[in-house]
Amino acid sequence: MGICILLITTGKEAESYITDLKNLFESVTVVEGSTKDELITVDDIIEVTADCFGQSIHDVLGDGRRKVLTNARQVIMYLMFQELGMSYSAIGRKMGRDHSTVMHGISRIENVLDSLRDGKFMVNEICHVKGKLRARISSRKHG
């Protein structure tokens, strides 16, 4: 996973958020490989996410506006939508939020994930170009 998180925050907060996001998605990768008999629940998503973000379930589901809490809520909403196929309204009811808040939260996480993928691609391309430039300079010196 690349690290390009300008849409979320900057500095140390970004590093912390990236670490939390990586840990969360590593914890929940079981969902991708699970069978119908190993269904993950809404409560599983909430508990694992709260744990990965180092927050209590009560705080994550509460009204607090600290960035870590809003980020955790948005990840929960995204996972409920992607992994469980829940509607915006159903997620909103479970989270105590309006469906438009859910739509915004899911969109924000999708944008972050796209940025991470784009960032990884750009880092790879830049490294590739730098390698070719070094090779060209080296061949000029020795040729």
d(CA 112, CA 62): 23
Domains of the chain: 11-142 (1.10.1750.10)
Q: Which residue has the tokens 């909430």?
A: 46
**Mean pLDDT per 10-residue interval, the chain, length 143 residues:** 32 54 55 52 89 93 95 92 92 96 94 81 75 79 75
The candidate with the shortest Cα–Cα distance to 97, out of 43, 61, 55, 58, is 61
Q: What are phi and psi of 114, to 5 degrees?
A: -65, -40
Give the pair of three-digit tokens for residue 104.
């915004």
pTM of the entire predicted model: 0.66
Q: What 3-state class would DSSP assign to 119?
A: helix
